[in-house]
């Protein structure tokens, strides 16, 4: 019998500005909330709403978790294997 695996997750990468924002998060609760949001986005990159804008670059998306009070702006690479986080709000 073949083992069943969950959905394939995209790898999470951070832009320089998002990485700096991440360094400033010190609260355990905020880290946990952000981690949950990143798992959601990595499993289902289309979960966020598209942000209207220029179509020459990748489509910027916004995922908001109202329960955890987290907002993440991100885009997905062409092969959908990497989610690049551009902005974090916790």
CATH topology of domain 11-89: YaeB-like fold (3.30.2310)
- Is the pLDDT reported for residue 1 higher than 60? no
64 versus 7: the higher-pLDDT residue is 64
Question: Rounded distance, CA 74 to CA 88, Å?
Answer: 9
Domain locations in the chain?
A: 11-89
Q: What is the pLDDT of residues 50-69, one digit of tens each?
A: 998 877 778 899 999 988 89
Q: What is the pLDDT of residues 28-50, one digit of tens each?
A: 999 999 999 999 999 999 999 99
Task: Provide φ and ψ at 72, rounded to 5°.
Answer: -130, 130
Q: Are 83 and 11 in contact (CB under 8 A)?
A: yes
pLDDT at 42: 96
Q: How many CB atoms lie within 10 A of CB 88?
A: 24
At residue 31, the 3 state secondary structure works out as helix
- Single pTM value for the model: 0.85
Buried b (16+ CB within 10 A) or exposed e, 33-45: bbeebbebbbeeb
């Amino acid at each position: 019998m073949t083992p069943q695996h969950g959905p394939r997750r995209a790898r999470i990468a951070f832009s320089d500005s998002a990485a700096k924002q991440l360094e400033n998060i010190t609260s355990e609760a905020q880290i946990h909330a952000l981690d949950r949001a990143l798992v959601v986005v990595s499993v289902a990159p289309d979960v966020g709403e598209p942000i209207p804008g220029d179509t020459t670059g990748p489509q910027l998306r916004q995922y908001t978790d109202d329960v955890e009070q987290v907002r993440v702006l991100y885009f997905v690479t062409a092969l959908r294997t990497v989610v690049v986080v551009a902005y974090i709000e916790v």
